[in-house]
Structure 1
Amino acid sequence: MKKITLIIICFMSIIICWTFSSATAAYEVSRGEVVMEVSSGRLLYSHNESLTMPMASTTKIITAITIIEKCDLQSVIEVGSETTGIEGSSVYLKAGDRFTVEDLLYGLMLRSGNDCAETLAVFCSGSISAFCNEMQNTATRCGATDSRFANPHGLPCKGHYTTALDLCKITCYALKNSKFSEIVATKRHTATELSSGTKIIWQNKNKLLNFFDGADGVKTGYTKEAGRCFVGSATRGGMRVVSVVLNSPQMFERSEELLDNAFTDFNLVKIIDKSRFDYVAFTPDRKNAYKLNVENDFYYPLGINEKFEIECNIPETLPYTAKIGDKAGEIKIYLKKQLIFSQNIYTLVND
């Protein structure tokens, strides 16, 4: 069947300049850094993005999303003695304490409780090592191929590392989960120890939530080996951006700078609007016409004078046997000659 290909070339006219370099940074550049837009996964900036490094308590991002995906959050956990008294940051769980999985997730992500991490891991998988295998499976689903996990909290351990890029991919994946997003955006949570009914207030250690416009996540981290690590997220104008800084002397300040630059230099653009997709195809005798449609809108972050091409492959005619819902063509979006998105075009209504 002969098809018509329409190529539409579009420009983004934004008078800006996207420059991220050590020479222009107001704050010290971290050993590894990445900035990414969440919905598209577009990498907006990177520095040493593939360098493997320890990541301290930012490990708990993958711990949390693994628990959320595998466990009933209203299940009640009775804390065992083997997961209490864990070194480092803690919410001071005691053997016999009873909490819901959800409350312990808040303790994990707001207070960075290492005891919460081990308690959740053992509850989920029966042992720390088995849970680490689940973390690895989660990383694979995220496309994080250069990370390895030896514990659920990020305390120094041989064979426990990530890259700034991997950690950003994991975070973007996690933020698409509404419960994860809700937890990491929370400034203060009241948990209940169920045996006694005691209420416990946990404040979020993420200072970005208090002073950065649009901040909505995600996790701090520090060990002597890893240095100061931070994953931050913020949303403005419908665009959600994640920054990762590993071994960063000024982790909050540098993260704020990276996020500000992203919002200054990129806009989230609606490239495909399914409600305005207005094409019609006829049968060969032109007696019957079918409206054509696409199923999804498509948004993408675009910067200074970026040129994208829309290639719309639509049929010149449809066969007499065409039915509503049949695939009729394909629409493709290119940026810098690289395919960034495609979807099918379907017959919708027989006019």
Structure 2
Amino acid sequence: MKVRKLVSGVLVVFLFIQVLLLPATDANAAAKPPGLSAESAALIDVTSGRILYSKNGTKKMRIASLTKTMTAIVAIESGKLNDVVTVPQEAVGVEGSSIYLKKGEKLTLEELLYGLMLRSGNDAAVTIATHVGGSLPGFVYMMNEKAAMIGMSHTNFTNPHGLDDSNMHYSTAEDMAKLSAYALRNPVFRQIVSTKVKDISWEGEQWDRRLLNKNKMLHLYEGADGVKTGYTKLAKRCLASSATRDGRQLATITLNASDDWNDSAKLLDYGFANFPLKELVGGKQDVKPDTPVTMERGTHLVTMNAFRYPLQPTEADDVHKRVVLGESVINGKMNGQLVGFLQFYLKEDMIGQVPLLVSADSSVEGRPESGIRGFWRHFWTIAAGGLWSA
């Protein structure tokens, strides 16, 4: 009996020691991304534009009615919301989703945009395109020009609605995430896609059209505020979603996703939980130059604004700064002048920059320059039309 107790005691001590020797769990370890039904997906931080997650994110895919995000933002930026638009014949009876426009019916461009984004009206898409672009080909050209400007390098549009009319109408999850982030920075677009119910005019009828947003995420997910649903027989289920929590907005894209609502919720949860915003510099914060520069006593370099960026805890040590200045001499007369940038890098990639201003103590502010430097600064002020003005 004593031997048995002794053996049991030794075994307990041995197991306790083994537990102590196990490697400690890293609290900063990156969380595993969620499993998704989507063939392709992407998650983006709207403000910074950082892609936080990608699954086959650069694969060219059909995007169905997610196309209408581009249709809407081009129309908002290039048209006038209060324009009265006449429905053309070519918009009547377009297959798929519709808000049942009639030839010659008149609506405002704003009303058509609600019909486009809440009910995914293909007739609204054609009406908007012909009004803003002059013709369908003209508007498609504008769509592709905007795509190039945003940096959607793997995208080509051939129509304003996303119907399966050609293999040449395609995009990628990452490109569409960039588009969502770009569009969501526009307050008009943001207002439209976050609207759950909207009444718009219905010429010739005794009642208005009541538009119920097809995007169930607005009801299913806390903080959801956009963006667009999509489906065709070839593209399958597609979804662009967004949500805002504590002032921070994320957006997701899922393409060919049988469980798109849950996929989007998982991605948003993953982004909010694992990529907190880290303030890398504050506003009006002193910055010491890391390049050779002569600074008059009483002058400082300060940031124009704060800079925050979504980072996993494990990435904090990979961020470094670089001061880039356009001046080799800083004096009090330059008070308030932009003289350079504080740049931030994540490993080798620049993730942002903050303007640097001269801040001068009252004892040196406004002291006139003298000598040859004062002469040349005065010369370039005149020559450059105020580029160097104090």
Give the TM-score normalised by structure 1.
0.87
| SS of match in other structure, 1:106 | helix
Q: 1:314 to 1:50 in 2, by over 3 A?
A: closer
Q: 1:150 to 1:110 in 2, by over 3 A?
A: same
CA contact (8 A) 1:280 1:289 kept: no
> What does residue 345 of structure 2 align with?
334
1:310 corresponds to which letter in structure 2? K
CA contact (8 A) 1:54 1:225 kept: yes
2:228 corresponds to which letter in structure 1? K
> What does residue 166 of structure 1 align with?
175
CA contact (8 A) 1:36 1:168 kept: yes
Q: 2:321 aligns with which of 310, 313, 316?
A: 310
CA contact (8 A) 2:305 2:355 kept: no
Is the aligned partner of 1:125 residue 2:133?
yes
Distance across 2 between alignment mates of 1:58 and 1:67: 15
Distance across 2 between alignment mates of 1:77 and 1:316: 53
CA contact (8 A) 2:200 2:208 kept: yes
Distance across 2 between alignment mates of 1:79 and 1:285: 65
1:200 corresponds to which letter in structure 2? R
Structure 1 residue 320 displacement after superposition: 5.1
Structure 1 residue 344 displacement after superposition: 3.5
> What does residue 6 of structure 1 align with?
none
The structure with higher relative contact order (CA 8 Å, sep 6+) is: 1
Residues 23-42 of structure 1 aligned to structure 2 (within 5 Å): 25=35, 27-28=36-37, 30-42=38-50
Is the aligned partner of 1:84 residue 2:87?
no
CA contact (8 A) 2:97 2:122 kept: yes
Structure 1 residue 155 displacement after superposition: 0.4
Q: 1:279 to 1:86 in 2, by over 3 A?
A: closer
> What does residue 5 of structure 1 align with?
none
Structure 1 residue 19 displacement after superposition: 1.6
Is the aligned partner of 1:109 residue 2:120?
no
Q: 2:65 aligns with which of 57, 72, 81?
A: 57
Distance across 1 between alignment mates of 2:323 and 2:294: 20
> What does residue 239 of structure 1 align with?
248
> What does residue 145 of structure 2 align with?
137
CA contact (8 A) 1:310 1:332 kept: yes
What per-residue deviation string (whole Å, max 9, x for no partner) do you get for residues 323-342 of structure 1? 22344453221222432222
Residues 275-294 of structure 1 aligned to structure 2 (within 5 Å): 275=284, 277-278=285-286, 288-294=297-303
> Which of the pair is proportionally richer in strand?
1
| SS of match in other structure, 1:245 | strand
Distance across 2 between alignment mates of 1:303 and 1:239: 15
What per-residue deviation string (whole Å, max 9, x for no partner) do you get for residues 304-336 of structure 1? 332222345689994557422344453221222
Is the aligned partner of 1:70 residue 2:108?
no
| SS of match in other structure, 1:193 | coil
Is the aligned partner of 1:203 residue 2:216?
no
Structure 1 residue 284 displacement after superposition: 7.1
Distance across 2 between alignment mates of 1:314 and 1:141: 28
Structure 1 residue 15 displacement after superposition: 4.3
CA contact (8 A) 1:238 1:268 kept: no
CA contact (8 A) 1:98 1:195 kept: no
Q: 2:31 aligns with which of 14, 18, 21?
A: 18
Q: 1:297 aligns with which of 267, 282, 306?
A: 306
What per-residue deviation string (whole Å, max 9, x for no partner) do you get for residues 162-194 of structure 1? 111111111111111000001001101111235
Distance across 1 between alignment mates of 2:171 and 2:214: 22
Distance across 1 between alignment mates of 2:134 and 2:90: 12
What per-residue deviation string (whole Å, max 9, x for no partner) do you get for residues 260-299 of structure 1? 1111111122222214x03589x9796x512432223212
Distance across 1 between alignment mates of 2:343 and 2:104: 57
Root-mean-square deviation (CA, aligned residues, Å) is 2.5
> What does residue 215 of structure 1 align with?
224
Is the aligned partner of 1:268 residue 2:273?
no
Q: 1:69 to 1:19 in 2, by over 3 A?
A: same
Larger Rg: 2
Is the aligned partner of 1:257 residue 2:251?
no
Gaps of at least 5 residues in structure 1 are: 1-12
CA contact (8 A) 1:332 1:341 kept: yes
Number of aligned residue pairs: 331
CA contact (8 A) 1:145 1:166 kept: yes
Give the TM-score normalised by structure 2.
0.79
2:130 corresponds to which letter in structure 1? V
Is the aligned partner of 1:347 residue 2:358?
yes
Is the aligned partner of 1:183 residue 2:196?
no
CA contact (8 A) 1:156 1:223 kept: yes
